[in-house]
A and B are shown apart, each in its own frame.
Chain A
Amino acid sequence: METNIFDSGVRDMAWCPGCGNFGIRNAIMKALTELGIEPRNLVMVSGIGQAAKMPHYLRCNTFNGLHGRALPPATGIKASNPGLTVIAESGDGDMYGEGGNHFMSTIRRNPDITNIVHDNMVYGLTKGQASPTSPRGFVTPVQVNGVILEPFNPLAVAVALDASFVARAFSGDMDKTVDILKKAITHKGYALVDILHPCVSFNKINTFAWFREHTYYLDDSHDFHDRNAAFTRATEKGRLPLGILYENPDKPTFEESLAVYQDSASPIIKRELNMEKLSELIDSKQ
């Protein structure tokens, strides 16, 4: 097989054999290559968890920060240098649990970044506790009598907050996932891609077969510019819809709304301090 420019050649990956993360990695490499993005202009930001190790297994700039905190640095990076392609990637525990407040606020802020969430409905790295998306009744070493909390519905929340792009993928479907990722990365504004994937080590409920049985792809009958329709799909009981649920292409991005970019598109990191203006400001305090 031809090596991909994003393939770092690392062989010792910390993921379990048979894990959906491998499929996601392949899909990401393929999507980035097909989009013609250069590794040096890509920044992958992640939190902590199994999913969050992804940037280490790719050739790219990497900010592997704290558990739950991928979105704030991703926002800071994009705002400081809008020319970079910024992807924030982590697990469901990281993004929706520990980082829940940032998830909501980043949607509201709408930076032009892509947010990939590996949704395995369990905490992988810490060995099998419930995650915000675990189903009711899910038994773990901590939730010994089964999960009693209502599962977090990331897509419904994102649509409710009028996120500018909301999609769900399944790691078992390479081509369709690549297609969704490409659309998310090229979308201008915040784009959420919740990727369902089986955790072969700790989730014996939501298995590969389970996902196959409990998902379906949205077809042309779904108008993804219709927010109410998107919300209806996001809250459907039974089978989970895959594909692009919602897009609002008209939202201004965080970067373009910032005062500093009103008169000049030059990234703030390339600008010099205007000493004359500083002198004037100091003088004005006379």
Chain B
Amino acid sequence: MISFPVKKDDITIVLCGAAGQGVQTVEQLLTHLFKQTGYNLFSTKEYMSRVRGGSNSTELRVSSHKVQAYLDTIDLLFPLSREALDHVRRRISPGTIIIGEKEKLAPGGDDIPGIVDIPLSGLSQKIGGAIYSNIIIVGVIAALFNIDRKAIEEYLRDRFGKKGEQVVAKNIEAVDAGYEFGDGLTSSGTVSIELTRDAGVEDDIIINGGEAVGLGAIAGGCNFMSSYPMTPSTPVLTFLAQHSKEFGIIVEQAEDEIAAINMTLGAWYAGARGLVTTSGGGFALMAEGLSLAGIIESPMVIHLAQRPGPATGLPTRTEQGDLEFALYAGHGEFPRVLFAPGTLEDAFHLTRKAFAVADKYQVPVFVLTDQYFIDSYYNIPQLDISDGKIDRHIVETDTGYKRYAFSDSGISPRGIPGLGKGLVVVDSDEHDEEGHITENHDMRIRMMDKRLKKLDAVVNEAVPPELIGKKDASTVVICWGSTFPIVREAVERLSRNDMAVLYFKQVYPLHPGTGSFFKHARKRVIVENNATSQFGRLLKLHADIDITTRILKYDGLPFSVEELEKRLLEVI
């Protein structure tokens, strides 16, 4: 008899099937059920660029303590087909218990070590068809983790209630069938799981990266968004569209990314707070609009969710490959700010801050995320919005108002049309203080200097990197954006007190104190989800930091904690 070792603090479940087999539904159901039951939860998915078929997988990490990173190890695997099983085969270890339909997974009768056979086809046929397989699995997992049956019922009613009592009843039947099977596994001692619950989870919220950015935008006073769908940036567009009426946000799907950014610049000009969300290819089309923001000194917020390029690359995969693109995009020279949140809390607060910084300094501000970040959920404490004030940097104009009046800081008071007696003139040509076209070379120099000077002010408000570990650690592991929680956990596992993690959440302009974090670090290891260490180059160029070792990954997948732990061991 197979017996699953009891793990007390951290269990990874992986569900794998073809697109359209309902893996997504299971993820949503379980994410909430686990949290309600009092477990910490991290989940993430990887999927192919197709609507049906292929092999997609979702990982659910259930834990007694907070977990925020992707693990390779699979404790419990639910493959829905042979292809699905093969798809995750490299992650299967002797400790993995596979729960699936033997006949389907090994039609030739070959042996799959560690498999628990579940008659999914038979059970689902009895209920009404194969579509119930995924809900049966929810039942099995619920039984194994002792999730309250009532809670599941409630959740199903909530979710399927609109589709009628019949649908709800069928789904409950499916859960019951799974639950019974799971109970059998527990009582026979085949699988036994004892996971300590965490009372602290109850008040937490559970969101994913897309929602964190979306909530941050709302909190930042965003009331206009125009974008064009592109994976993995679309969840932010969807999120704001769903809350458009509630929060007075105009959300428009533009005809292309060029229209999206230009429309949003129009909105800022009129006094709105605008956001565009896009990915590399779409951002490429926005480059001229970005440059326009630079010269007309318009605030602008750009959420750039990265995926592997060049061109269409791997459309549904992850990469940190567009840092330099965001940094250098747009012709001409003008200031900009780049945030790269690594945690959901940071995504919320930095997106919110992006609006404040953009408005105050009249510059474009980026929020850089990626597919892994956007599609990952975990529980976090309630977001603090108590300092709810939004500072608008708009003035009422008077006659004789000059949009680009010279000032010491380079920032000119920004008026909007219709507010006050003045006229607001902005121009993509080089212009004079009033905003009218000029070809005067002295004026050109003064305007360039004025615009570039704003960067000095922005630097003073830069977010410093976050140090985890000792200040005098001889090895510093540097990361930015989404890799942070993975790096943190990998370094924690190594438990060496001469090692620290330095996490950059503002990647440009760098905080003026950046150099001080490297004083004692003889080894400077950088971890990046790209092929050429773009942030390493940025650190050299802007803070004269020499990187001693680079750990890079660019297969389209995120680092796993175990993989990174191993690679760190190799280099320290």
Chain A residues in contact with chain B, CB under 8 A? 14, 39-43, 45, 48, 53, 55-56, 59-66, 69, 71-77, 79-81, 83-84, 101-102, 104-105, 109, 258-260, 262-264, 268-269, 271-275, 277-279, 281-283, 285-286
Contact = CB atoms under 8 A, between A and B. Distances in A.
Given A62-B423, A277-B247, A286-B203, A69 B262 contact: yes
B390 A273 contact: yes
B265 interface: yes
Given A102-B259, A262-B245, 10 more contacts: A65-B292, A72-B259, A72-B266, A76-B224, A102-B258, A109-B252, A259-B245, A269-B223, A274-B247, A278-B218
Contact of B428 (A14, A65, A76): A65
Contacts, number: 190
Contacts of B429: 64
Contact of B206 (A43, A101, A272, A285): A285
Contacts of A59: 423
A153 to B, nearest CB: 20
A162 to B, nearest CB: 17
Nearest to B261: A72
A66 B286 CA distance: 12
Most buried by B among A39, A79, A109: A79
Contacts of B289: 66, 69
A260 B244 contact: yes
B206 A80 contact: no
Most buried by B among A39, A59, A72, A74: A72
A202 B417 CA distance: 36
B248 A260 contact: yes
Contacts of A262: 245
Contacts of A14: 437
Given A64-B428, A80-B267, A259-B244, A40 B292 contact: no
B428 A271 contact: no
Contact of B424 (A62, A105, A109, A273): A62
12 contacts: A43-B417, A63-B426, A73-B265, A74-B266, A75-B263, A76-B270, A81-B270, A260-B249, A271-B223, A271-B248, A281-B215, A286-B206
A281 B218 contact: yes
Given A40-B422, A77-B266, A285-B211, A61 B247 contact: no
A32 B178 CA distance: 73
A272 B388 CA distance: 11
B265 A275 contact: no
B383 to A, nearest CB: 5
B385 interface: yes
B53 interface: no
Most buried by B among A14, A63, A268: A63
Contacts of B288: 66
Sorted nearest first, the 3 A-B pairs with minimum C-beta distance are: A76-B266, A73-B266, A72-B262
A213 B505 CA distance: 67
A73 B385 contact: no
Contacts of A102: 255, 258-259
Interface of B is mostly: mixed
B416 interface: yes
B448 interface: no
Most buried by B among A75, A105, A259, A285: A285
A61 B417 contact: yes
Nearest to B269: A63
B427 A56 contact: yes
A44 to B, nearest CB: 9
A281 B243 CA distance: 9
A65 B296 CA distance: 9
Given A268-B224, A277-B247, A285-B207, A84 B266 contact: no
Interface string B198-232: 00000111110001000100110101101000000
Contacts of B248: 260, 264, 268, 271
B271 A101 contact: no
Nearest to B388: A275
Contacts of B203: 286
Contacts of A268: 223-224, 248-250, 272
Interface in B378-395: 382-383, 385, 388, 390
Contacts of A73: 262-263, 265-266, 269
